[in-house]
Structure 1
Amino acid sequence: MDFLTSRTDLHITTWVVGIVIFLIAALSGKQSKGLHMTLRLFYILIIITGGALFIEAMKFGQGMLYGFKFIGGILVIGMMEMVLVRQKKNKPTTMFWILFVVFLLITMFLGFKLPMGFSFFA
């Protein structure tokens, strides 16, 4: 577990790869079951690394903000899945794209603003 919490690089790498795979799957014309299953594997990796960092973050005394970031991350993953599933069923996805972007921006802002993140906003 120390490997997961020693640096945030592993978590950042998993969500960057996850978002890239999501964009490829969502913006390509055809639905690929293998690509969707690979993305679901990355959902699990994102949650595991994020959960490990969340537990480590309790040392900073800002548990509520880290909790909001954790919930935001789960909502981002949920919106990614909703976009792909609704596209597969040929249903409208505009609302879920908007929610995806909003939740992603909030989660990234909190991630970079909090003490364990990079100091882009300092």
Structure 2
Amino acid sequence: MFETTHAHIATWVIGLLLFVVALFLHKSGNKKATKIVHMVLRLFYLLIIATGAILFAKHSSTDAMLYGMKFLGGLVVIAMMEMILVKVTKGKKAGVFWVIFIIALIATFLLGVKLPIGWSWF
């Protein structure tokens, strides 16, 4: 099951979609639905970390440093998603967290593509 990244990619894609849905629900003023989606998103954080940890344990022997950097980058992305949602829900500014989130998301994605079990573009 974890010879490829399908489960991990599925969990982070669903996680990112839930993050966007939670932001739109909050913007529309639907507090109860925002809270429910946020709780489901927290479950997906755990699934993302679990699938990532399994992939890390299984494949990090090929390039431990890059896999470790990707793992830490993924944790930063998850932390920023949570911080953004909490700040937005409390009505506070989250500009710095957005910048860190975007940089970490791009860096983690590019690392994931570059690693040996990543996508083959050509």
Q: TM-score, normalised by structure 2?
A: 0.91
The aligned residue for residue 7 of structure 1 is: 4
Moved over 4 A (4+): none
What is the CA–CA distance in structure 2 between the aligned matches of 1:116 and 1:56, rounded to whole Å?
11
- Provide the residue aligned with 2:66 in structure 1: 65
Alignment of 1:9-48 (within 5 A): 9-28=6-25, 29=27, 30=29, 31=31, 32-48=34-50
Measured after TM superposition, the shift of residue 7 of structure 1 is 1.8
State the partner residue of 2:84: 83
Residues 17-40 of structure 1: CA distance to partner in whole angstroms, max 9, x if unpaired?
A: 000100111233134111000000
In structure 2, runs of 5+ residues without a counterpart are none
- Identical counterparts, % of pairs: 46
| Aligned equivalents of 1:25, 1:45: Cα separation in 2 | 18
Q: Summarize deviations over 1:11-60 as a string: whole Å, max 9, x none.
A: 00000000010011123313411100000000000000000000111232
Aligned residue pairs total 117
Contact between 1:112 and 1:118, CA under 8 Å: does it hold in 2?
Answer: yes
Partner letter of residue 38 of structure 1?
Answer: V
Higher mean Cα deviation, 23-32 or 108-117? 23-32
Preserved contact between residue 26 and residue 83 of structure 1 (Cα < 8 Å): no
Displacement, 1:6? 2.1
